[in-house]
């Protein structure tokens, strides 16, 4: 049965605090998807038990687990999912089908908490009676111990028996054996205390894991459920966001959250869109600008036309991407799972040998050596080790999402820590991706008249250079440019037209050569501007070159600072661009990029990434997620810039950077290094605790309740250490 790779999932039908990906389309007529929520599935030991049981069912093709969200997706060819649900119930777990109608949930019951308190009181009383009387087998001690075990242990025994029937040694099976063994050798007070402490540990651990789950679910809670929409009669009414159709007009008052993605149709405001892009400052919004669900309208009121349904908003896609990323196991997690599969049965076998060999071969006391074996059984549980990785990884994924960085899986979060070489596209990545007029150098007459004539020709052309000239004229000069008669586009050279009765040309050096202009000043000026990485065009009227105009794709404000920070992190940079080599080198110099290669076709960018991979082993590529798709796909980690609102960018890249901030690249690397550092800390701490107690147990210095405390303490330690990623100040190095 193949493992789920979780490579792509369709959009959720309706977003919620913990959205479930909708079933993927079946690949065959009999193939179906079943998504289940299983409250009792929170640890890889439960996953292994479910995998063994469901994997043996005929018709089950693949299983995809998300432990932190307690979800299981089953790909099967069964006409009725009943056997799947019955198998899960037989393991003492309760499956709930995603999307199934449910009745109103009853108020939370206090009965389990009351049973735990009563069981704890009975266990303490048993310990106290045994200590004061000196008799662990006194009738009151036995009755109190039985009471404590009866109050807190039935669920453990049921789950433990189900695991043993499937030949799986999970924590419930180990605890059931340990408590039963302690009872059989007469350690009643300790058996009761071990069961109560384990029940208490489960309660504390469940609360800690809930924090990790809420780190993801809390993102979607940012979206309001109600929105004010204009009806067909023109009246404004409040309705559920989930009922609003694409194309409807919605209104947002100051201080309200935007409920749906859309484009502003009237009004102006400053919008805090930190939940989407991670930007710290509010962003001005006016007519034509995009707004995102979950962002906060801070000042004015505006109306916008809805561009995406409630479940398809950018925020919903962000949550869905992070949610799905949890199903992709990081390399460390895969290693830990393999280690735990060997470690647990090995320690169980060692415990059997400790219980049997000394009494049989050396005449040791059976009760003493069985007790030591029971301590080893408790230590055999690998929960602290196996839970440390998913908690840490999901905390890192959630922290990245809050900063506007979407990471498609734990594997990329870990790889980022080892990234030492990064290739960047120029246009739209290091630069704005929108040419702007930078220079007007008058050679004959004044600059204002030259710009006026150039704007007249530019208004009739859609070439990027003409667009930049026209945009500059409208931004700096009120009114429209003069009319043009006989306008002609000269492909690859420029434009021509009659303005104010005179023939005017606007074009490149090739056009000047064709027209016979030998103006050395114009040629020198054009060469100088091109050497600065700009596109130069000349404006000609009659026998004169009136002016040379420079147009350039301007740098992003964050580019130089981001590259400098990458260098401080030990990451060398390389620019790969389809622009001419001179312009590419000039931009690279301005930003501080180590190396630059221009005039590259997409396949040549791909070849360059291949060459870097051969030399350095791990290479990142930053692009727009569409034009650079081959290079992004080939790189070890593909980064898509400006992914807010872009399905293509999110689908193409391994890491999608929301907004247009190149500074998110060093943020990602710092977070990756912090994640890997915490993973190592957790693994070291869990293994150290196990090693210490293995020595103490074999030496006879550890007790059952001490082993439970150590196991619980180690689990809580690694969980809370992993959760540090959600709030910790990571610093420059991410340590």
Question: Would you state the pLDDT for residue 250?
Answer: 94
The answer on 518 and 570 residing in a single domain is: no
Give the tens place of pLDDT for each residue, 53-74: 898 898 898 888 776 677 888 9
Which of these, 706, 693, 704, 683, lies nearest to 331 by C-alpha position? 683
Q: Are 441 and 548 in contact (CB under 8 A)?
A: yes
> Does residue 729 register a pLDDT over 80?
no
Q: Is 632 helix (H, G, I), strand (E, B) or coil?
A: helix
Which of these, 577, 673, 594, lies nearest to 421 by C-alpha position? 594
The highest-confidence range among 31-45, 48-62, 187-201, 562-576, by mean pLDDT, is 562-576
Which of residues 7 and 90 earns the better pLDDT score?
90
Question: Would you state the pLDDT for residue 102?
Answer: 42
The answer to whether position 625 is within a domain reads yes
Distance between CA 193 and CA 187 in Å, rounded? 10
For tokens 């109190």, the residue is: 144
The mean pLDDT value for 206-222 works out to 60
The mean pLDDT value for 214-233 works out to 73
Give the tens place of pLDDT for each residue, 593-639: 999 998 787 778 888 998 988 888 899 999 875 557 778 888 899 89
Q: Are 392 and 725 in contact (CB under 8 A)?
A: yes
Distance between CA 32 and CA 61 in Å, rounded? 10
The answer on 581 and 546 residing in a single domain is: no
The answer to whether position 466 is within a domain reads yes
Q: Are 13 and 71 in contact (CB under 8 A)?
A: no
Distance between CA 638 and CA 653 in Å, rounded? 5
CATH number at residue 453: 3.40.1110.10
The side-by-side arrangement of strands in the sheet containing 502-507 is 431-442, 544-555, 535-541, 502-507, 494-499, 485-490
The answer on 640 and 562 residing in a single domain is: yes
Among the candidates 522, 555, 588, a domain finishes at 555
The answer to whether position 267 is within a domain reads yes
Rounded to the nearest 5°, which phi and psi values hold at 60? -85, 120
The mean pLDDT value for 479-499 works out to 88
Averaged pLDDT of the chain: 81
The answer on 435 and 518 residing in a single domain is: yes
The answer on 649 and 576 residing in a single domain is: yes
Q: Would you give the distance in Å from CA 626 to the centre of its chain?
A: 20
Which of these, 262, 248, 251, lies nearest to 292 by C-alpha position? 262
The mean pLDDT value for 97-126 works out to 74
The answer to whether position 550 is within a domain reads yes
Which of residues 503 and 65 earns the better pLDDT score?
503
Among 136, 168, 261, 425, the active-site one is: 425
Distance between CA 726 and CA 215 in Å, rounded? 8
Distance between CA 335 and CA 411 in Å, rounded? 12
**What is the 3-class SS of 442-457, one letter each residue?**
ECCCCHHHHHHHHHHH
- pLDDT bracket for residue 2 (50, 70, 90): very low
The answer to whether position 36 is within a domain reads no
Domains in the chain, number: 3
Which runs of consecutive H residues, i.e. helices, occur in 363-503?
A: 366-379, 383-402, 410-415, 447-458, 464-476
Question: Would you state the pLDDT for residue 101?
Answer: 47
Question: Would you state the pLDDT for residue 19?
Answer: 35
Q: Is 639 helix (H, G, I), strand (E, B) or coil?
A: strand
CATH number at residue 300: 2.70.150.10
The answer on 563 and 423 residing in a single domain is: yes
Among the candidates 291, 312, 333, a domain finishes at 312
At 575, list the tokens.
């620019």
Which of residues 109 and 594 earns the better pLDDT score?
594
Percent of the chain predicted with pLDDT > 70:
83
> Does residue 573 register a pLDDT over 50?
yes
The highest-confidence range among 362-376, 662-676, 691-705, by mean pLDDT, is 662-676
Among the candidates 647, 668, 689, a domain finishes at 668
DSSP lists the bridge partners of residue 407 as 655
The answer on 420 and 459 residing in a single domain is: no
Least trusted range by pLDDT, from 369-378, 447-456, 495-504, 536-545: 369-378
Give the tens place of pLDDT for each residue, 455-484: 999 988 877 788 889 888 888 876 788 899
Question: Would you state the pLDDT for residue 659?
Answer: 73
Give the tens place of pLDDT for each residue, 520-555: 899 999 988 887 878 889 999 988 999 999 988 888
Q: Is 705 helix (H, G, I), strand (E, B) or coil?
A: helix
The whole-model pTM stands at 0.68
Give the tens place of pLDDT for each residue, 153-168: 998 898 888 878 877 7
The answer on 613 and 588 residing in a single domain is: yes
What residues make up the domain containing 583? Answer: 403-427+556-668
> Does residue 326 register a pLDDT over 70?
no
The mean pLDDT value for 479-501 works out to 88
DSSP 8-state code for residue 199: H
- Is residue 425 annotated as a catalytic residue, yes or no? yes
How far, in Å, are 28, 71, 336, 401, 588 from residue 41 at the CA level? Answer: 30, 8, 18, 25, 51
> Does residue 4 register a pLDDT over 60?
no
The answer to whether position 513 is within a domain reads yes
Question: Would you state the pLDDT for residue 434?
Answer: 78
CATH number at residue 565: 3.40.50.1000
Burial 242-253 (b: 16+ CB within 10 A, else e): bebeeebbbbbe
Distance between CA 279 and CA 271 in Å, rounded? 10
Question: Would you state the pLDDT for residue 643?
Answer: 57
> Does residue 695 register a pLDDT over 90?
no
Distance between CA 729 and CA 558 in Å, rounded? 21
Question: Would you state the pLDDT for residue 649?
Answer: 53
The answer to whether position 117 is within a domain reads no
Burial 347-366 (b: 16+ CB within 10 A, else e): bbebbeebbeebbeeeebee
> Does residue 228 register a pLDDT over 70?
yes
The answer to whether position 439 is within a domain reads yes
The answer on 298 and 246 residing in a single domain is: yes
The answer on 560 and 527 residing in a single domain is: no
The answer on 517 and 549 residing in a single domain is: yes
**What is the 3-class SS of 2-38, one letter each residue?**
CECCCCCCECCCCCCCCCCCECCCCCCCCCEEEEEEE
- pLDDT bracket for residue 107 (50, 70, 90): very low
> Does residue 299 register a pLDDT over 50?
yes
- pLDDT bracket for residue 735 (50, 70, 90): very low
Rounded to the nearest 5 degrees, what angle is found at the Cα of 474, between the Cα atoms of 528 and 500?
80
The mean pLDDT value for 661-670 works out to 92
The answer on 503 and 442 residing in a single domain is: yes
> Does residue 417 register a pLDDT over 60?
yes
DSSP lists the bridge partners of residue 665 as none
| Contact partners, residue 38, CB within 8 Å, separation at least 6 | 46, 50, 70, 71, 72, 88, 93, 94, 95, 96
Question: Would you state the pLDDT for residue 550?
Answer: 92
Question: Would you state the pLDDT for residue 22?
Answer: 38
Rounded to the nearest 5°, which phi and psi values hold at 446? -95, 160
> Does residue 505 register a pLDDT over 80?
yes
The mean pLDDT value for 401-410 works out to 82
Percent of the chain predicted with pLDDT > 90:
23
């Amino acid at each position: 049965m193949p493992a789920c790779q979780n490579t792509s999932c369709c959009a959720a039908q309706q977003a919620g605090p913990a959205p479930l990906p909708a079933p993927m389309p079946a690949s065959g007529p009999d193939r179906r998807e079943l998504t289940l929520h299983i409250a009792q599935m929170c640890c890889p030991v439960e996953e292994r038990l479910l995998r063994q049981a469901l994997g043996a069912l005929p018709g089950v093709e693949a299983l995809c687990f998300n432990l932190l969200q307690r979800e299981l997706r089953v790909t099967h060819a069964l006409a009725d999912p009943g056997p799947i649900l019955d198998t899960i119930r037989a393991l003492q777990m309760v499956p709930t089908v995603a999307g199934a109608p449910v009745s109103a949930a009853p108020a939370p019951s206090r009965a389990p908490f009351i049973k735990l308190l009563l069981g704890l009181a009975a266990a303490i009383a048993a310990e106290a009676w045994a200590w004061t009387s000196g008799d662990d087998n006194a009738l009151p001690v036995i009755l109190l111990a039985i009471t404590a075990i009866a109050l807190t242990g039935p669920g453990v025994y049921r789950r433990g028996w189900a695991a043993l029937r499937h030949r799986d040694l999970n924590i419930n099976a180990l605890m059931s054996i340990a408590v039963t063994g302690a009872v059989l050798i007469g350690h009643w007070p300790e058996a009761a205390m071990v069961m109560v402490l384990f029940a208490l540990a489960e309660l504390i651990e469940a609360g800690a894991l809930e924090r990790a789950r809420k780190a993801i679910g809390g993102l979607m809670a940012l979206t309001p459920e109600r929105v004010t929409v204009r009806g067909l009669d023109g009246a404004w009414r409040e309705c559920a966001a989930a009922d609003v159709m694409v194309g409807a007009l919605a209104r947002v008052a100051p201080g309200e959250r935007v409920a749906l993605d859309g484009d502003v149709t009237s009004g102006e405001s400053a919008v805090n869109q930190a939940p989407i892009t991670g930007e710290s400052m509010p962003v001005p919004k006016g007519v034509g600008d995009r707004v995102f669900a979950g962002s906060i309208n801070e000042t004015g009121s505006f109306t916008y036309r809805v561009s995406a349904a409630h479940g398809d908003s950018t925020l919903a896609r962000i949550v869905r991407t992070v949610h799905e990323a949890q199903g992709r196991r990081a390399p460390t997690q895969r290693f830990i799972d393999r280690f735990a599969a060997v470690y647990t049965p090995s320690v169980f076998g060692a415990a059997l040998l400790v219980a049997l060999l000394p009494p049989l071969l050396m005449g040791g006391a059976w009760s003493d050596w069985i007790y030591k074996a029971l301590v080893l059984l408790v230590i055999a549980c690998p929960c602290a080790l196996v839970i440390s990785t998913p908690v840490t990884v999901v905390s890192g994924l959630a922290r990245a999402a809050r900063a506007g960085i979407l990471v498609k899986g734990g594997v990329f979060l870990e790889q980022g820590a080892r990234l030492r070489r990064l290739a960047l596209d120029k246009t739209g990545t290091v630069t704005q991706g929108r040419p702007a007029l930078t220079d007007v150098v008058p050679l004959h007459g004044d600059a204002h008249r030259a710009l006026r004539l150039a704007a007249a020709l530019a208004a009739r052309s859609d070439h990027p250079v003409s667009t930049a000239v026209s945009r500059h004229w409208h931004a700096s000069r009120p009114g429209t440019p003069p009319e043009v008669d006989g306008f002609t586009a000269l492909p690859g050279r420029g434009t021509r037209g009659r303005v104010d009765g005179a023939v005017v040309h606007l074009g490149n050096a090739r056009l000047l050569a064709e027209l016979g202009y030998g103006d050395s000043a114009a040629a020198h000026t054009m060469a100088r501007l091109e050497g600065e990485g700009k596109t130069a065009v000349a404006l000609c009227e009659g026998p004169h070159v009136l002016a040379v105009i420079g147009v350039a794709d301007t740098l992003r404000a964050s580019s130089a600072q981001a590259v400098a920070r990458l260098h401080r992190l030990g990451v060398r940079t390389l620019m790969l661009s389809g622009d001419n080599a001179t312009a590419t080198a000039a931009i690279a110099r301005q930003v501080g990029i180590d190396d630059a290669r221009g005039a590259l076709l997409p396949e040549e960018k791909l070849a360059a990434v291949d060459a870097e991979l051969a030399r350095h082993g791990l290479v990142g590529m930053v692009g727009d997620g569409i034009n650079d798709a081959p290079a992004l796909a080939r790189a070890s980690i593909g980064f898509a810039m400006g992914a807010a609102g872009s399905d293509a960018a999110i689908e193409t890249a391994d890491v999608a950077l929301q907004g247009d901030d190149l500074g998110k690249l060093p943020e990602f690397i710092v977070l990756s290094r912090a994640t890997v550092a915490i993973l190592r800390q957790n693994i070291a701490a869990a293994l150290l605790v196990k090693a210490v107690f293995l020595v103490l147990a074999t030496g006879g210095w550890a007790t059952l309740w001490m082993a439970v405390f150590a196991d619980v303490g180690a689990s809580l330690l690694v969980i809370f250490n992993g959760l540090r990623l959600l709030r910790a100040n990571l610093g420059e190095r991410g340590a």
